[in-house]
Amino acid sequence: MRAIILAAGYGSRFKSDKPKVIHPILGKPMLWYVVNTVKNAGIQDIGVVVGHKAEEVEKSLKEEDVKFFYQKNPKGGTADAVVSSIDFWRSYDGYVLIVNGDSPLVSSETLKQMQRYLLMVEEYEGFKLGGLILTTHLQDPTGYGRVVKASNDRILKIVEEKDASHEEKAITEVNSGVYIFYTPYLLNALFRIKPSKETGELYLTDVVSFIVENGHEVRSFMASDPLEVLGVNTRWDLAIAENLLRLKLIRFWAEKGITFHSPETVWIEPDVTLEEDVEIFPSAVLKGKSKIKKGSVIGEGSIVENSEIGVNVDIQPYSIVRNSKIDDGSTIGPFAHVREKSYVGEKSHIGNFVEVKKSKIGDRVNAKHLSYLGDTEVGDRVNIGAGVVIANFDGKRKHKSKIGDRAFVGSNSLLISPIKVGKLSYIAGGSVVSKDVPDGAMAVERAKLKIYEGKGEAKIKK
């Protein structure tokens, strides 16, 4: 089977400069979901019809293996869009799946069931259906095309809301915008379509009555979940679609053995992977290609983006980890920030108000409070006291530093990069260190402390 995805329209109800179909849902363009669903239904050969701001739409799918077809007049209507891709399917003697690009909730399971249904009809009833249309009953069918059926339940036609009579508007069975047609029948019917009197558009839905007139049968296939048919026409539809996809994803992971506390507040994107016994707390945000391994905890309000979190890592509340890797058994936060290709080794603790940037931190390192570690390589079992700052920027350039295994960097010391602090060396609290410290040495840089007996009390009482 081949598939055509319609993505050329203006989407005027969306009120956007950006094409509707590339607006993001959980960090991916709306259209990506449709392409992905079609692929997961086992269809390799995919054509996407573009028109309005075509380059932007094509760019949004640059990583996908699809062919693009150009609709000259993006106001021509959905039938005109299908005509625009005619080279893709005209000579193909088989079924073609057509999906609206604004239907991100359709599932691949449903598409597979539809394909199976067609084969069953061929095998047990001995003929090819002209068309199979995904439909559902909606309490409020406003805005959707209505499926008009004869008393024997055969489809007669689809009528668009704008062209529907009073009685037709009362029909609650709606067209989802997902169709499978037998191409020779589609081809014949497509060129009989006349522009709508109301809008001047060529409606793809009009092929149905022509296929039926030509003596072929068109059947409806009921969506197992009515939410699957949601077409995204407005920003509010987008918000609803995003929410539904988010909950679907969370449910998927919950069934794989992940705990979500207050799942209604958790954000998770489609490329994130989670392992068993991961525990996610309220308002956590998991983005991009993040991977969270077994038994790790993501605390309240924390953000993990394009990062790998090892086994049994504890990301405490309100921490941010971006484009980095945290190894097994470490603790990050609360209120920590690890970013730009940083690595934190095993069983280390990056604590509150500590920022780690483009740095490699060894195993069993403690940097528990109020520090900045930038462009630095920190060995194993190093202690970074409260308030330690690596001054990596001289106003013009960034410099790199290195701190050896088991070094002790006392509170509030300032290390001026580039610098090398040796293994087992000891930096006294409050020191400004601007020279390398050899292995095993101690560095103290501090003005002499003076104590004047009685003078304090006298000053306070004066």
CB of 11 to ligand UD1, least distance (A): 6
Q: Which residues pair with 260 in a beta bridge?
A: 280
| Binding partner selected for residue 359 from ligand UD1, Ca ion, none, CB under the kind-specific 5 to 8 Å limit | none
Active site amino acids: 369
Q: Is 102 in the site for Ca ion (CB under 5 A)?
A: yes
CA distance 172 to 174: 6
* Residue 172 makes contact with ligand UD1 by CB under 6 A: no
Closest contact distance (angstroms) between CB of 168 and ligand UD1 is 12
Query: Is there binding between residue 173 and ligand UD1 (CB under 6 A)?
Result: no
* Closer residue to ligand UD1 in complex, CB, 49/285: 49
Nearest to 71 by CA among 44, 47, 105: 47
Instruction: Considering the complex, state which of residue 160 and residue 308 has its C-beta at the smaller distance from ligand UD1.
Output: 160
State yes or no: cis peptide before 317, omega within 30 of 0: no
Residue at 111: amino acid letter: L
Q: Please report how close the Cβ of residue 156 comes to ligand UD1 at its closest, in angstroms.
A: 15
Residue 231 near Ca ion by CB under 5 A: yes
The span from the CA of 232 to the CA of 105, in Å, is: 9
Stretch that binds Ca ion, among 109-117, 182-190, 226-234, 280-288 (CB under 5 A): 226-234
CB of 25 to Ca ion, least distance (A): 15
Out of 29, 130, 231, 404, the only residue in the binding site for ligand UD1 (CB under 6 A) is 231
Could you say which of 3, 7, 241, 373 contacts ligand UD1 (CB under 6 A)? 7
Out of 37, 60, 85, 100, point to the residue binding ligand UD1 (CB under 6 A). Answer: 100
Residue 74 touches which of ligand UD1, Ca ion, none (Cβ within 5-8 Å per kind): ligand UD1
> Is residue 403 a contact point for ligand UD1 (CB under 6 A)?
no
Rounded to the nearest whole angstrom, what is the least distance from the CB of residue 279 to ligand UD1 in the complex? 38
Binding mask 141-160 for ligand UD1 (x = CB under 6 A): ---xx------------x-x
Measured CA to CA, the distance from residue 342 to residue 328 in angstroms comes to 15
Does residue 104 bind ligand UD1 (CB under 6 A)?
no
Catalog residues that contact Ca ion under the rule CB under 5 A.
Answer: 102, 231, 233
Catalog residues that contact ligand UD1 under the rule CB under 6 A.
Answer: 6-9, 21, 49, 51, 71, 74-78, 80-81, 100-103, 144-145, 158, 160, 174-177, 203-205, 231, 233
